[in-house]
Amino acid sequence: MNNIYENNMKFLPFLKFLDKYKKVLIAIVILILIIISFLIISNQIQKENNESASIIYNDWIEEISQEIPNIENLDTILNKLVTEYPKTGYTQLALLNKANLDAKLENLDNSLMNFKKLIDLTDGLNGNKIFNKMSRVSSARILLSLDKHEEALEMIKVFSSSNTNGYIHELTGDILVKQEKNDLAKAQYDIALKKYSDETSKSIVSMKIANIGT
């Protein structure tokens, strides 16, 4: 009998705690269930979106694989992907392909527009960093060719730290040369030269440095 009483006394503080904070504990449990339900539903929706987007993307692949793709058809398919399934990898890959195709066909305005769409979709912590960087670098190249130098620098300024790769420093140097900021350009080329490991890239940058002095 004493053992039963002692055991009950051991649980008394815990029971008092439950009684005192039962409303808070119930609220926490409900919140956890809501979060779990939200995650399950979100994952299911994302899975369904990916499946639907993949069907549309198959149409995209079929069209872009043609010897002479129909640009109007590509734009129609792409618009459907961007409008209905913007966050899927299929949409982002289609945007990248279309932007590159536009650049190849020298439709620079359209190419820039699609690269910017891809940048918007891939910005942020959860964005596709590889696609984002490719889009920014390509956009900067197009803007440079259009003599929009400040916009070109703005496009790649997120990679301007000393930790970035040599190509970004080289590209920054190219833009600064166009702005006739030769000292700043040379500084960027010097950094690129140190970061490059292949001799071909080093030779190209060395020639650009030499041209600044002429």
Can you give the CATH number for the domain in which 17 is found?
Answer: 1.25.40.10
Confidence of residue 164 (pLDDT cuts 50, 70, 90): confident
**Residue at 138 is within a domain:** yes
**Residue at 6 is within a domain:** yes
Mean pLDDT of 163-191: 91
**Predicted local distance difference test score (pLDDT) of residue 4:** 47
Measure Cα distances from 57 to 53, 62, 70, 84, 129 in Å.
Answer: 6, 9, 15, 12, 21
**Residue at 189 is within a domain:** no
**Residue at 113 is within a domain:** yes
**Residue at 86 is within a domain:** yes
Quick one: which of 151, 115, 106 has its CA closest to 133?
A: 115
Angle at 106 between CA 55 and CA 104, to 5 degrees: 55
Q: Model-level pTM?
A: 0.76
Whether the per-residue pLDDT at 2 is higher than 50: the answer is no
Confidence of residue 162 (pLDDT cuts 50, 70, 90): low
**Residue at 202 is within a domain:** no
Under 8 Å between Cβ of 56 and 80? yes
Distance, in Å, from the CA atom of 154 to the CA atom of 124, rounded to the nearest integer, reads: 17
Which of these ranges, 25-39, 67-81, 156-170, has the smallest mean pLDDT?
A: 25-39
For residue 76, the enclosing domain spans 2-159
Confidence of residue 159 (pLDDT cuts 50, 70, 90): confident
**Residue at 213 is within a domain:** no
Whether the per-residue pLDDT at 12 is higher than 70: the answer is no
Look at the chain and report how many structural domains it folds into: 1
**Residue at 84 is within a domain:** yes
DSSP character for 166? Answer: H
**Predicted local distance difference test score (pLDDT) of residue 1:** 45
